[in-house]
Amino acid sequence: MLIDDRSARVLEAWTDYQVPWSMARGYSGAFGRIVNAPWVWIPLAVLFVAPFLRPPWRMLHLDLLVLSAFSASTAFFNAARVDVSVPLVYPLLGYLLVRMLWIGLRHGESAHDEARRPLRLLVPVSWLAIAVIFLVGFRVALNVTNSNVIDVGYAGVIGADRIVDGDPLYGEFPSDNAMGDTYGPVVYLAYAPFEQALKWSGNWDDLPAAHAAAIAFDLLALALCFLIGRRVRGPDLGVLLAYAWATYPFTLYALMSNSNDALVAALVLAAVWAAGSAPARGAFVALAGLTKFAPLALGPLFALHRGGRPRPRLRSLLAYAVGFAAAVLLAFAPLVGELSLRDFWDHTIAFQAQRGSPFSIWGLYDPDVTWLNYVQRALQVAAALLAIALAFVPRRRDLVGLAALGAAILIALQLGVSHWFYLYIPWFFGLVMIALLGRSAMPAPTRA
């Protein structure tokens, strides 16, 4: 409870999980600042779906509606109604999981039939290309002028400073971000160039290095969306995917919070982009997994990616393993001599596994409810088995199928985690859009 000293008026009063978790109190702009304003969020949400709203109605329109529906949960979160915001997330994640499995496991004639159905857009693709340019400028300007750095971005700067100075990375973070050493080494290494160019003052100030890093990660993810789209169906799909990234409110939410989640998304997208090279995709999967660990579950799927071949070759599997191992060694090389494996385990994977949180149904309700714990464990085991099984079952062999099943694995993992937040949506968003838009032929050129 917070009381005004002069008037004795109660300013704030919190109960239950809102006492230890300030995130659950609905403080205005705590995450993303002005992106939560209706005049920013609603136009972006409209721009995200508007180009596709041309009859006849298809499953794609429902898919886009589900992706947009996370906004309703966010509105309740901002109003400190976590009891409503959290349950709203799970039907949406469940729907997307089923859709990604349905797309990724369809192959043969059914997939070819889909490819002959062109997308129908309200406006020419050239208009969307121009919109992407303006949206990129808008996003960068908004970040520079009206964004905040949450503890996630601050942790990246601290870790980068410690690596450059040769200090131990795990176990000795400052008290104002004591739990910031919970990520893989790739996160902190990715911040190092920005921290060196824009030196950290030693305090939790404006942290320009975190702003620069978040902008770079966001632009990298957008560029990879374009490159993957161009590879799948030409530059028109690349423009559509870049436009989707630039207009989706939750990618801007991550950018305006200056978190490291766009880095996770970018490295996962890089693995899809490099799918034609076994060592490259192995390296990118390893780098993505050594950020926030969940992408490690993509390892089997990407290892057995066959492209157009009927079966993977042993040479390809060995090359994948070599690329994966080389990336792991490269990521840990700067920590040699300072790294304690016990500290690394305790502060990263063990901490995440034991972490409680009211931002999932597993932590929102009584964590001592035995049957709920059993359900969570069952979901976690099912997600692990799914990640292995999808590497072996008959599936689409193209990048659309790879993206769809990669998204399914990440979503399945997120369904079972104890701490879930909206910043995790960009992890799978790019993959989902590749799967949804990449199945269809591009619209025929139209006169603007």
What is the C-alpha to C-alpha distance for residues 393 and 300, in angstroms, rounded to an integer? 12
Q: Transcribe 108-136 into DSSP letters.
A: THHHHHHHTSB---SS-HHHHHHHHHHHH
CA-CA-CA-CA torsion sign (322, 318, 227, 31): negative
- Average pLDDT rounded to a whole number, residues 204-211: 96
Say if residue 365's pLDDT is above 90. Answer: no
Look at 313 and 422; give whichever has higher pLDDT: 422
pLDDT attached to residue 448: 42
Tokens of 147: 């964004």
Q: Give the model's pLDDT for residue 108.
A: 59
Q: How many helices (H) and strands (E) does the chain have?
A: 20, 2
Strands 2-3 and 10-12: antiparallel
What does the pLDDT average to over 232-255? 97
Has this prediction a pTM greater than 0.75? yes
pLDDT band of 144, cuts 50, 70, 90: very high
Per-residue pLDDT at 5 exceeds 60: no
Whole-angstrom distance, CA of residue 153 vs CA of residue 214: 8
Ranking 122-131, 156-165, 308-317 by mean pLDDT, the lowest is 308-317
Does 55 score more than 60 pLDDT? Answer: yes
Q: Which residues pair with 404 in a beta bridge?
A: none
Share of the chain above pLDDT 90, in %: 73
pLDDT of residue 368 exceeding 90, the answer is no
3-state secondary structure of 206: coil
Q: What is the pLDDT of residues 272-312, one digit of tens each?
A: 999 999 999 999 999 999 999 999 999 999 999 976 666 66
Per-residue pLDDT, averaged over 428-435, amounts to: 98
Alpha-carbon distance 141 to 42, whole Å? 18
The pLDDT assigned to 236 comes to 95
Residue 117: strand, helix, or coil = coil
- Total residue count of the chain as it appears in this document: 448
> CA-CA distance, 162 to 93, in Å (whole number)?
37
Which residue in 146, 162, 270 sits closest to 211, CA to CA? 146
Give the C-alpha separation, 287 to 264, whole Å: 9
Mean pLDDT of all residues in the chain?
90
Number of other residues whose CB lies within 10 A of the CB of residue 166: 10
Q: Which pair of structure tokens corresponds to residue 201?
A: 């003052």
> How confident is the model over 374-400, as a mean pLDDT?
94
What tokens were used for 278? 């076994």
- Taking only the tens place, the pLDDT of each residue in 81-107 is 999 999 999 999 999 999 999 999 987
Task: Render pLDDT for 326-361 as a digit per residue (tens, 0 to 9).
Answer: 999 999 999 988 788 888 999 998 888 888 888 999
DSSP 8-class letter at 55: S
